[in-house]
Structure 1
Amino acid sequence: MPTLGLGVYLNDECAEACRVALLNGYRMIDSARFYQNEEQVGVGVRQSGVDRAGIFITSKVFHSEFGYDKTTAAVKDSIKNLGYAYYDLYLTHSPLGGKDLRLAAYKALLDAKAAGLIRSVGVSNYGVKHMEEIRAAGLEMPVVNQVELHPLCQQKPIVEYCKKNNIVVQAYTPLLRGAMDNPVLQEISQKYNKDAAQILIRWSLQNDFVPLPKSSQASRIISNGQVYDFEIAAADMAKLDALDRGKSGAVTWNPVDTD
């Protein structure tokens, strides 16, 4: 799995964004059935000319399609939309829908993996209790948990659990949906002569997260990927860490506590 990916939620120019990203070094694209752009991801991949085998593509099944048969059908439809034979990673999009349905959906993804339709199985927006539910059911643990994650919402109990159990933490909304006027963030941005988005992405990388910044602008897509030529010092990382507001710092739905 690459260490940085392109998110494509609410991207009306998804194919072009994917093409630009792939031509500028990105090798991971994060989509979902809810985004309704799986087909456009496939178009962008083909237009880029980059070999599909070298690209890590993710999708997710929404809770409205949970349940063994519905999730199995959803995976097959996702593959049809993409226009390639498999996904590298496929997630349950959230823990909504209740225990029985989400476990059935997860089991369907494991069976899709066994059938070669997807290469790895993960979850998104899962709290510790939801991951423990998978363990208690005797199922293979997820390889990824994708959650909202940035300095204002650090999801510490979830991150601690994932790291302890060798589950990769992917960070969605790493750029605070553009609300980057925090004075500490701006101070550190000026110190390193980097824009605030690059500081946020670098913060994720130095915490061993896999950030998934999104943009439809070519210049932003390119600059968001230019984060490997500097390192944030420990003292400045500590300043960013101190911004944590817990769950109140979330800027999206963040359903990690659902029953």
Structure 2
Amino acid sequence: MSFTKTTEQSSKYNHLEIMPVAELLHNINNEDKAVPLAIEKALPQIEKLVDKTVLKLKEGGRLFYIGAGTSGRLGIVDASECPPTFGVPFDLVIGIIAGGDTAIRRAVEFAEDDKEQAWKDLSAYHINSNDVVVGIAASGTTPYVIGGLEKCNENNIATGCITCNSGSPLSAVAQFPIEVVVGPEFVTGSSRMKAGTAQKLVLNMISTATMIQLGHVKGNKMVDMQLSNEKLVDRGVKMIMDEIKVSYEEASALLDAHKNVRKAIEAYGNK
């Protein structure tokens, strides 16, 4: 299938090497402003994927992200932040990158070109029809990601994607495609820029909206967050104070006793 990769088109700017720093920053910022507007156009697509993800996770499934390079790293970042933020198990949202964990820090040559490897990587987690797999690829042509989604479709596993080109092979494979068309990058082809920003924002939307729907937020507070440092303990104490109108000392004692903001609030209400 032939289509236009806007992510690979030449930048609207030229002679970057002679631009003053102020002009470089101004122009990058101008390009970045287009990202949320592009995402706005894709909101109906994002909603469909979130609805499916919530349904599957309520049935005991998991959410997987697969990608290569920047896309893979962004999926891993989003997945890794779900347990501390929402108190969910570490294996509820899982990020997988082409080339394995080594590729998180250092590019693994040609890892993204292996069309069979993603399914092998997913199979290590005993993936099944309860799960959802979201392929992330700015270009929409990454063989690793496309191959993974194709195998998921064959095995009755729900598939989505996040791409920054319209009408890509990846979108054609995904059951729930999300296309955020941000246009050419400031540095031609550097999809870690606008495309990466778009992917990060969409991932935020998917995981946050899903976790809210699953009940891990009360009001606007992260009541199930892990209390993994003093800053978060202090935040938890203040959440309790705000919710049940007690002193800092009382809230701190409740949190110390129950080790969880939600449980502390519920215990106070059940006295």
Q: Identify the structure with bigger relative contact order (alpha carbons < 8 Å, sequence gap 6+).
A: 2
TM over 0.5: no
If you compute each CA radius of gyration, which structure gives the higher value, 1 or 2? 2
For Structure 1 versus Structure 2, the TM-score category normalised by the shorter chain is under 0.3
- Taking structure 2 as the reference length, the TM-score comes to 0.27
